[in-house]
Amino acid sequence: MFPLQRPLRLALRLLPPLLLSLVIRWFLRRRKPVSISVALRSAYAQEVALAAARQLGVRVEREASTQWADFDAIDWDAFFDGRLQRCSSLYVRASLVRKGMLAHYLAKKRFAGVMPPTLVADVEDEDDLQKLPAKVEKWAASCDPTHLVVKASNANRGEHIFLVRTAAEVASAVRPSVQRGVKEWVIQPYIRSLLEGRKFHLRCHFLMVGCPFCGTSRAWLHSQAVALLASEVFTEDLARTAAHLTNHCIQEAHPDYDEARQIRVQVLAEPVRRQVASSLQQALASCARTAGFWPLPQCFELFAADFLLEGSEPKAWLLEINSGPDLGVFGRNRAEAQHLAADVLRTAVLPFRKAAGPTWEDPAHCSCRLHGSGFATELWSCPPSAASCAEELRQFQRRLGLAASCAKALHGDLALRGPQASVAAAAAATARPAAAEAAEAAG
């Protein structure tokens, strides 16, 4: 018997780990497989998202119940009738992504020091253009800017953005755009943010994730950021726009564009990370419960926030928040872009394999915060406003229907198109019986 004792003790020591390994493998085989459809306009982002899905073993299927796509490519009809269970965009997020609205809500909540001093101006006609210089002059007296940046509130990709020296130049700069229908503008001081003698801005990504189990929506900041530098060295000559406007699409078209020099992917330094997190927390808190921002437990969305860093001990100024950002800003740093895309899947898709229950789970014990990805800093959270995931969506549809009815009452010739028309029709259909019941009860 003695020769068998040592092998027996070894077998007994190895048996629990082996059993645990077998149990884990059985559990993984039993888990519901994850599938997703991907439809992103940017070829770069599409390739990166597909590579991230392959990396994590997520199946890509055209008819999947989870969709990662640009806003206008999402099947909103399927989302609102429940066939599409999860999608990669908030339906309403104008308060965050329109520069003028964000500045308005930050000022309303008295959150100072987040955005640079900002004047929001509605300019509809020549009369408004004539009054604009005096309005800018009065505002500028409080912040004494050396130069001014004038931007359309609802534009991106570097469109409708102008650099001027004086208030008197603002009206002439924006006049052609106003005549083409661009009405809302933001005016801010020009901020000198330099790295190695070149203007730059910092792009930070954060992810909004709704949980269909506990109903809580959370925003998470990613640990990596992208520094985007100008093609030309800094100059005081405002006509050299490539030295001042660091938007990726503007720089990419410049003949001296050098991706290796102009795109830097880096982990946020702690003092900057704290400022970025604080600014985004205040931005989200200012927009919460407004008509222009409504997260849902069935939705997630990746956002990009652009910051300028001013001074040697830099002050981080939030410029804008972009919805559906193009991952092409990573350039040839494709591995880092894929890492971000994989973290989106780890945080917003993989934890939500099962269907939502009839009521909410306890948020304190919900697994939606245990994702183990680069989205490590929780910025903000919002509890649900209804009793279940399905009721949250119905409540949202009712409010959309009321908004559509109000708009049609104010503008009788307004034609609703696309998903808005479907939602308005569905909301009107459910509202009619409720109205009849209320009238009968009142009578």
Please tell me the predicted confidence (pLDDT) of residue 373. Answer: 93
* Of 156 and 225, the one with more pLDDT: 225
Residues 118-164 have pLDDT tens digits of 999 999 999 999 999 999 999 999 888 889 999 999 877 778 999 99
Q: Per-residue pLDDT averaged across 403-412, rounded?
A: 58
| Global pTM value | 0.85
One DSSP character per residue, 264-328 reads EEEEPPHHHHHHHHHHHHHHHHHHTTSTT-B--TTBEEEEEEEEEEETTTTEEEEEEEEES--GG
% of the chain surpassing 90 pLDDT: 67
pLDDT of residue 29: 44
Over the chain, what is the mean pLDDT? 86
Number of H helices, E strands in the chain: 13, 15
- Per-residue pLDDT for 417 more than 60? no
Comma-separated ranges of CATH 3.30.1490.20 domains in the chain: 117-189
Q: Which pLDDT belongs to residue 28?
A: 42
Angle among Cα 420, 424, 430 to the nearest 5 degrees reads: 150
If one counts every other C-beta atom within 10 angstroms of the C-beta of residue 311, the result is: 9
Res 33: pLDDT: 76
Cα three-residue angle 240-42-266, rounded to 5 degrees: 65
Report the SS3 class of residue 209: strand
Q: What is the DSSP letter of 92?
A: B
> How confident is the model at residue 1, as a pLDDT?
43
Separation CA 103–CA 139 (nearest Å): 14
Using the predicted structure, report yes or no on whether residue 429 has a pLDDT greater than 70: no
pLDDT tens per residue, range 254-293: 888 888 899 999 999 999 999 999 999 999 999 998 989 9
Q: Answer yes or no: is pLDDT of 23 > 70.
A: no
The residue with greater pLDDT, 16 or 378, is 378
What residue ranges of the chain are covered by domains with CATH 3.30.470? 94-100+194-384
CA distance 160 to 316: 24
Q: Can you give the pLDDT at residue 14?
A: 56
Q: Work out the average pLDDT over 212-236.
A: 95
Using CA atoms of 95, 100, 104, 105 in order, give the dihedral in degrees to the nearest 10: 20
Q: What is the pLDDT of residue 247?
A: 87
CATH number of 94-100+194-384: 3.30.470
Does 17 or 400 have the greater pLDDT score? Answer: 400
Please determine, for residue 2, whether its predicted confidence score (pLDDT) is greater than 50. no
Q: What is the CATH number of domain 117-189?
A: 3.30.1490.20
What pLDDT score does 91 carry? 95
Query: Rounded to whole angstroms, how far apart are CA atoms 287 and 7?
Result: 66
Q: What is the dihedral of CA 358, 360, 366, 372, to 10 degrees?
A: 80
Place of tokens 């410029």: 319
